[in-house]
Chain A
Amino acid sequence: MTNSLTKKLVVTILAWTAALVMFFPIFWMLVASFKTEIDAVATPPVVVFAPTLDNYAAVHERANYIRAATNSVVISVGATLVALILAIPAAYAMAFFPTKRTRSTLLWMLSTKMLPPVGVLVPMVILFRELDLVDTQIGLILVYALMNLPIVVWLLYTFFREVPVEILEACRIDGAGFRQELRHVLMPLALPGVASTSLLSVILCWNEAFWSLNLTTSDAAPLTAFIASFSAPEGLFWAKLSAASTMAIAPILVFGWLSQRQLVRGLTFGAVK
């Protein structure tokens, strides 16, 4: 008994040390966001200080922060909706009416996810210029929706597969049409799956930083690009930057904690169970 308790204590110490070391940079940023600018850059670091909310107020007053935050919300939610609209019918068809080609279709979809974005940077920039999509919300919404479409289809497919076929058959025997079937039977059953798929899609869009840096400048720049614009005047706005960063990552951190399992499923395409 004491032996297993000792083991448990040792594991507790080791695991918590690892967890605290990994979390420390985020914690340190959080602390800095409540310091004054002078305290934030002080060496030795100021540990005891009177916390202030000034940085949060200052960031909120800056119009470009509000704009970036709005862009992040509009683009992430918009792209997720577009992806869902395209993916739900496809995943439904593949899950309930599988054909010989369903498997290879799914694999092909996943393989598009493996194209490195940088490989198509040049054509994307040129296409965006030609189509007047540079620095627009709709441009990033389209790119993000397509970028996440394979993962969304894949996740929805696995969730739909968990719905017992008998229930759908029964409702078809009762004479329900496709729309009724989808709306009144399938969606309620698959709703938790659809919700967590959406959550993962929002997370991936929110944190995307390759296309946002290369395809936006100011009007449609989401938070990833907005924060990057702080890289030049270093040392001047650490506390405010920390406040802005904290607000930028807080909602996604919560979403991420809620969707751990879907993350494993979605990002490994079911290869790890």
Chain B
Amino acid sequence: MASEKPKENPVNPDNPAILSTLLLKSPAIGALLLWMIVPLAMTLWFSFQRYNLLNPDVSGFAGLDNYTSLVTDPSLWTAMWNTLVLVGSVLAITVVFGTLLAVLFDQDFFGRGVARLLIIAPFFVMPTVSALIWKNMLLHPVNGLVAFLMRSVGLPAIDWFGVWPMTAVVVIVSWQWLPFALLILLTAVQSLDQEQKEAAHLDGAGPLRMFFFITLPHLRRSITVVLMIETIFFLSVFAEIFVTTSGGPGLATTNLAYLIYVRSLLEYDVGSASAGGVIAIVLANIVAIFLVRTIATSLEA
């Protein structure tokens, strides 16, 4: 085809090659379409069905029963609250410290390359390993390093996962995701116009004024992106809870993701778990709409 129409401009939309490019695109599009539609449709379908794998005799259309029983179940609201606390705390910690560290690592200092490698390392540690490091070696009430340090200054050792379980989970997830926020915000800080910084400096702006009037406004868009991407990931925090607290004690660390897991894989209540899944999807979509809009504007640029 190319030899027949040698002078065709490849970006011209009237190009006859369009048909063959559709062929090139269709496997990826088809695969993603299936991957998105099939499970989504099944979740929706099951959420209106009476379906418990332990009780196969009971079946049929359930109407909104799964939703009403889920909404009237206090454990859903506990899980929603826990999700909110977890997502909110980790967002606050990672974005605040991520911004400060990004500004710090933007400066010139000795051994910057190595320090940067060390500080982003936690992001590449698999979630189950980081959860076990914190559970066994750092926060363990008897043999943990934190317990030892607290005892050595005369404080009583704390059973973090028993008494402050949500705090412990927040610490683990923040440790993993702070490098992500730092990495992205650092990229953004470094794109700040050097001349603009120098001009502000010549006008006599101190470091604090520089931060609040130049750096922070410049970072606004990147911070928004970090907030949205992290929210989508944090709605599904699972492995860290699975390995450390199993959602407990009681329901203290059961988030929406863990509740759905318990309902479906431990209690085999497919209907109720699917209704929970639909709620999780709706929550994520609220954020995703804004995220896609932000990405769309950057695609135009």
Contact = CB atoms under 8 A, between A and B. Distances in A.
Interface in A105-137: 105-107, 109-112, 114-127
A73 to B, nearest CB: 14
A107 to B, nearest CB: 6
Given A28-B137, A89-B24, A210-B236, A14 B183 contact: no
Majority-rule SS of B interface residues: helix
A206 to B, nearest CB: 7
A209 interface: yes
Contacts of B128: 209, 213, 224-225, 227-228, 231
B25 A235 contact: no
Listed residue (A112, A122, A124, A153) with the most chain B CB atoms within 10 angstroms of its CB:
A122
B250 interface: no
Majority-rule SS of A interface residues: helix
A79 to B, nearest CB: 12
A124 B22 CA distance: 29
Interface in A194-217: 203, 206-207, 209-210, 213-214
Given A86-B31, A224-B126, A224-B127, A120 B277 contact: yes
B140 to A, nearest CB: 8
Contacts of A230: 132
B129 A248 contact: yes
B149 to A, nearest CB: 9
B238 A210 contact: yes
Nearest to A8: B109
A141 B260 CA distance: 24
14 contacts: A96-B11, A97-B10, A97-B15, A103-B299, A110-B295, A121-B265, A122-B42, A149-B31, A169-B10, A213-B239, A214-B261, A228-B243, A249-B125, A264-B187
Interface of B: 1-3, 6-11, 13, 15, 17-18, 20-22, 24-25, 27-29, 31-32, 35-36, 38-40, 42-43, 46, 101, 104-105, 107-112, 115-138, 140, 142-143, 145, 147-148, 152, 175, 178-180, 183-184, 187-188, 191, 221-222, 225, 229, 232, 235-236, 238-239, 242-244, 256-257, 260-261, 264-265, 270, 273-274, 277-278, 280-281, 283-285, 287-288, 291-292, 294-296, 298-299
